[in-house]
Amino acid sequence: MFTVVLIMLSGVLVGLLLQKHKLTWIYKVINMLIWLLLFLLGIEVGSNKQIIQGFAKIGFEAILIGTFAVIGSVIAAAIFYRWKIKKQNIK
Amino acid sequence: MKGSIIIISFFVIGLFCGLNGLVTNAFEQYDLSFYVLCALMFCVGISIGANKESLESIKKVDPVFLLLPLVTILGTLVGVSILRLFITSHSLSEILAVGSGFGYYSLSSVFISKFKGAELGTIALLSNITREILTLTLAPLMVKYFGRLAPISAGGATTMDTTLPIITRYSGQQYVVVSVFHGFMVDLSVPFLVTLFCMI
């Protein structure tokens, strides 16, 4: 797993060096790699009977996690926003 | 939105190929997806390093807003931790890994399926899509009840691209730079946090 993060960091260095060039193509490459990976993930999921049989449960859990992530971040943002406004008013 | 539909289509096409045995899982033997993931992360790294505008947006942001990515990350992690009380089939670290996708479903699902299996990877895919959809559809309500920063936090890693237009519209033009900076920072945190929670 560290390998992957290290590879990303080396990419950042390369990117910093290439800043002068227009790198619009990199986003196309990223998109295509993501498509390929999700296709592969689809194959893996499709050929895994356990996942397919439990898909309803998996989907329900996924929606719950997504919803709670949003609720948590929205409440945190509200607290932060109030604090910022208060600070502004004191100034 | 168009981009999301294409991405999901590829997943669904793969799903059907796998279901009907059209493609054998020979890729698995050679660990193809790992090498593709490495290539992807290298390109993501280049795009971050070369993204001058995002890097420079940091200088223009009101210093207080530099904290917003942290607020989003903490809020998300606390939110999904609470869910651990109701979901017993997954460990806290697994749920935190899924939550750490922050809406970046393509990357987080691939990462997580590589390190924790296709089931959790699928959960990451669907839950982070849920996050993006909720942000896109509920942004006006979020601003009304939770303030102008709420849709930015809810959008997580997507606030520099897919959810930027809706945030601009409901939080206001003055939050565009904050939104881009926020998306950039949260984006950057995804590989680190997901790796961290997959290891625990």
pLDDT in tens, B40-63: 889 888 988 887 777 777 777 888
Contacts of B35 in chain A (CB under 8 A): none
Residue B91 is encoded by which pair of tokens? 């460990």
Q: How confident is the model at residue A30 (pLDDT cuts 50, 70, 90)?
A: confident
pLDDT in tens, B72-114: 999 999 999 999 988 888 999 999 999 999 999 888 998 899 8
Residues 31-70 of A with CB under 8 A from B: 31, 33-48, 50-52, 54, 58-59, 61-70
A6 CB within 8 Å of a chain B CB: no
pLDDT band (50, 70, 90) for residue B172 = confident
pLDDT of residue B68: 96
> Does B118 fall in a domain?
yes
Partner residue opposite B64 with nearest CB, options A4, A74, A84: A84
- Rounded to two decimals, the pTM is 0.82
- The count of structural domains within chain B is 1
Q: Does B19 fall in a domain?
A: no
Instruction: Please report the residues numbered 72 through 91 in chain A whose beta carbons come closer than 8 angstroms to any beta carbon of chain B.
Output: 72-82, 84, 87
How many Å apart are CA B153 and CA B181, to the nearest integer? 12
pLDDT in tens, A47-77: 878 778 888 999 999 999 999 999 999 999 9
ipTM reported for the complex, 2 dp: 0.85
- The more confident residue out of A22 and B178 is B178
Residue B110 counted as domain residue: yes
Indicate left, alpha or beta for B61 from its phi (over 0: left) and psi (-120 to 50: alpha). beta
Whether B36 is in a domain gets the answer: no
> Which range of residues forms the domain containing residue B162?
62-199
B25-62 as b/e, with b when 16 or more CB fall inside 10 Å? eeeeeeeebeebbbbbbbbbbbbbbbbeebbebeeeee
